[in-house]
Structure 1
Amino acid sequence: MRRLVRHGLAGLAATTFAAVAAVTTLGADATPTAAPPPVAPAATGDFVPVQFVPADPVADAQRAATAERDSREAERTRIAAATAQAAYQRALGLATQGQAIDQQSSRIKAEIKAAKAKAEAAEAAAEAAEKKARDAAIANQGYTPGTTDVREIARQILANKFSYGEDQYACFSWIITRESNWNVHAENPSGAYGLPQSLPGSKMASVGPDWRDNPATQIIWGAQYMKSRYGSPCDAKSHWESAGNY
């Protein structure tokens, strides 16, 4: 750092010498030139162009990044991570200052180290909060948020909410295929509706008010019905094979 300061002083001296030489040269005799004509001031109301200042895409991206979390807990943790990251960047900025380097270097290094550790801890906490929110969603609705395949939703719900394995899922799938061919809006003239062909369809409102369109609501109701009436999806399948319905 001292070497950089010495080089900076030498550069400042050279710049000063050049400025003095330029002033001396300007003081010598020179051929007179005509002064340019004065520029008339713009009249009131004339258009005066204003320099365009481009947006800062980096700042915009940083602000947008904080809006991507789904839950309040994850959002609060991400804000803490962003605050810690800002402190870390501030500490790095302090390290570039050239004033009182010898006195400030130890403090700056300690601040950088502490800020970096805090940012890493906050980032880890944010990841943990996201996982907790995801696990809570799975426990609540039975399947991973974002899953769109109806059969996969059913497989996860049967495993997470009913502790059924692939054998019970296979029996459940066998019944649903024959009842509605996995059509959430399948409707029978008798009034049966949805994946499990609940009769009437409004019975599924006991699980959720979105029973007409939500496959998860229909799957949960169907699995509960099979379990309460027959004992399991495979027992319901056995009855369906002998009676033609369940």
Structure 2
Amino acid sequence: MTLGALAVAVAAVLVVGIGAAGPAAADEQWPTEAEVQAAKQDAASSKAEYAKIQGLVQQNQAVAVSAATTALEKQNDYAKAEQALQDASAKAASLEAQADAAKQASTSANRRFGSIASQLYVAGGNSGLTTQLLLNRGDAKQLLDKLSAMSRLTGLAAGLRDHASQQANVAASLSAEAADARQARQKLAGDAQTALKAAQDAQKKADDALATSQAQSKTAYAQMAELQQQSAAIQQKYAEYQAYLAALAAQRAAQGDSSYLYQVSRSITPDPPAAKAYAQSQMGRYNWDGTQYDCLLQLWTHESGWRVNAYNTSSAAYGIPQAWPGQKMATYGSDWMTSYVTQINWGLAYIKSSYGNPCGAWSFELSHTPNWY
């Protein structure tokens, strides 16, 4: 609704309270145009800041998703490294066991070789037996048997010596391979743990940044909503005040000089108790209960003190219901200036058609400043 349309609407139904201040006294109660513009600017700035923070939230969300994906990949790599570590550990253990077996075989072969070498030494070796065979022909067969046995022992000893050497070389090779496996195992574990830790740290950093920006967004949104509400309230109040001033000026221009009505009002003696009693007796006509009467009692006490001659010098509103202009009540009786019956009949009909019941009118009365219904 435009300001002009609002002024016309207010002028058509406005009923101003007897205690309402006139425009000159109300200036400090209403926002200025500069304050309205400042409120609009604050709301716009807050909205822009919220949009900026929302952009940051979206960026941090993307970073957090990327970090989470990387962390999952590193977790998978770490699981693979763990499996490789277990395989390497098993391989190292197997190689070490094989190296130990080779060492034991080498030691056993060396021990047997030593034993046979001792036997050969005690027997004097093949050279001694050969000399005995040449000098002693009578015992040739015995010496030949002995020579054959010594030859076999010599061959066995050489084979044991070679086997012992071979097993020693195998043991050394397996030990070196086991050492390499242990080193590879340690490197795999270290690399995987380092990569996983880095990915987890990156994910935590991204999650923390996202949580911070989300909290900032929540705060900015609350501030934006509050400033927008404040701006809307200030604009609404400013519009109401402008409408009030326009309607007041239009009413005064249409009514002209109201000094006569004011003079008449000063000569009338009101009877508030009788007026209240009559109003209460009329509640049944509208199917209103005691609660509605309580609201009516508060409404017209606030508006006029239930005085038939209540006159608002600011707006020229008149009577118990503060009709504006007072001549409206003439449709219910020519004695509208002095009769609480005529004024109350008009006032109840007005409340019924405009607000449904007295409590509705009283609620509307209190919803804005200055109070009117």
TM-score with structure 2 setting the length? 0.26
- Higher RCO (CA 8 Å, separation ≥ 6 residues): 2
User: If each structure's helix is expressed as a fraction of its own residues, which one has the higher value?
Assistant: 2
TM-score with structure 1 setting the length? 0.39
